[in-house]
């Protein structure tokens, strides 16, 4: 088997990100809740995509690209962080965003502008349309002698997913130093790479830990995440079979992707008031609302240690 260390990586992150017990939240919920602060990954306003971009942009540089093209919703954290990391790596970025949701120069769109990214909107529901447009732009650049590297939505390729295999190793090391074991890791799910990487990494570094994804989008993640796990395992030459039941999922979408929900907003307030930490309305607020529900439904054992992955996103608070 290969290790993630055998793949090129640009060091954008300040690692390890903090991991600690949420004393007030633990009291309120009557459980042992810890947080992994991947909202503090160390570039722009932080977030989970940076761990993926370390691997993806290393590949872009190795292939001699001068441009990176990616996509997402109008308020995409991934697109914003791609622009930030691309700038650091000396690459130009083009963001082909879905013209859906908050499209004014607020939240992440303001940051995209400050980061010098070129933003192009496409009025479509479908990422297939966006990917065709991204290919067209690549050809256009190629005619002018420029090479572009394309990153699909959320950076959730097998290579990007290695970032969260690594994160699981980092968590295992921090848990060991604190003399605890985590029974559960809870993370938000949007394109699947974070959960897929954590699930592979948990198998490798903490096989007693169960990874539960809380979905903020109505996609068939029960298939998408295991498939991404299989592709990532293949990239690592890791031979253990991956089955669909190797992951747990709970849907907390509410009215729709990127539509704030009542439960999510309450979770944002609770975390802000009790711990001084900002969650976001698209992913982590809904994910923490999911964790609260799992506490109520007896999903966790009485003395379980539960780790919530804060994957970032608070920059979109200023758009909603």
Ligand X SMILES: *Cc1c(COP(=O)(O)O)cnc(C)c1O
What residues line the site for ligand X (CB under 6 A)? Answer: 47-49, 77-78, 154, 156, 188-194, 280, 283-284, 311-313
On the 0-12 / 13-18 / 19+ scale of CB atoms within 10 A, 144 is exposed
Q: How far apart are CA 28 and CA 16, in angstroms?
A: 28
| Active site amino acids | 76
Instruction: Please give the helix or strand (H or E) that residue 305 lies within, else none.
Output: strand 305-310
When the beta carbons of 66 and 254 are compared against ligand X, the nearer one is 254
Closest distance of CB 64 from ligand X, Å: 27
- The residue whose Cβ lies closest to ligand X is 313
* Minimum distance, C-beta of residue 302 to ligand X, in the bound complex (Å): 29
At closest approach, how far in Å is the CB of 314 from ligand X?
Answer: 8
Tokens of 264: 């999510």
Of 101 and 190, CB closest to ligand X? 190
Round to whole Å and give the CA distance between 258 and 302.
Answer: 33
Q: Which two tokens stand for residue 311?
A: 């994957």
Dist CA 205 CA 170 (whole Å): 9
The CB-of-27 to ligand X minimum distance in angstroms stands at: 26
Identify the three-state secondary structure at position 13.
coil
* Closer of 141 and 267 to ligand X (Cβ): 267
Name beta bridge partners: 122: 98
Closest to ligand X by CB, 141 vs 229, is 229
SS3 284: helix
Exposed / middle / buried, residue 16 (Cβ in 10 Å: 0-12, 13-18, 19+): middle
């Amino acid at each position: 088997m290969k290790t993630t260390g055998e793949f090129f990586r640009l060091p954008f992150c300040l690692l390890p990100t903090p991991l600690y017990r949420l004393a007030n939240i633990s009291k309120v919920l009557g459980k042992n809740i810890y947080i992994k602060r991947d909202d503090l990954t160390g570039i722009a306003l932080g977030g989970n995509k940076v761990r993926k971009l370390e691997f993806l942009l290393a590949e872009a540089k190795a292939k001699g690209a001068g441009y990176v093209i990616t996509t997402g919703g109008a308020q995409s954290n991934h697109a914003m962080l791609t622009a930030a990391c691309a700038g650091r790596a000396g690459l130009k970025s083009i963001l082909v965003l879905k013209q859906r949701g908050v499209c004014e120069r607020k939240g992440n769109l303001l940051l995209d502008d400050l980061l010098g990214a070129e933003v192009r909107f496409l009025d479509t529901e479908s990422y297939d349309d966006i990917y065709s447009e991204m290919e067209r732009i690549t050809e256009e650049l190629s005619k002018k002698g420029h090479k572009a590297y394309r990153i699909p939505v959320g950076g959730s390729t097998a290579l990007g997913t290695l970032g969260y295999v690594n994160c699981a190793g980092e968590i295992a090391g921090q848990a060991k130093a604190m003399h605890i074991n985590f029974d559960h890791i809870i993370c938000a799910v949007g394109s699947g790479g974070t959960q897929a990487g954590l699930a592979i990494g948990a198998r490798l570094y903490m096989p007693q830990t169960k990874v539960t994804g809380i979905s903020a989008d109505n996609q068939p993640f029960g298939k998408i995440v295991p498939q991404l796990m299989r592709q990532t395992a293949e990239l690592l030459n890791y031979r253990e079979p991956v089955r669909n039941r190797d992951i747990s999922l709970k849907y907390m979408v509410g009215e729709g992707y990127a539509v704030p929900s009542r439960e999510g907003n309450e979770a944002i307030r609770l975390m802000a008031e009790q711990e001084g930490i900002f969650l976001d309305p698209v992913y982590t607020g809904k994910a923490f609302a999911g964790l609260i529900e799992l506490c109520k439904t007896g999903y966790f054992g009485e003395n379980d240690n539960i780790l919530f992955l804060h994957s970032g996103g608070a920059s979109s608070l200023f758009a909603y």
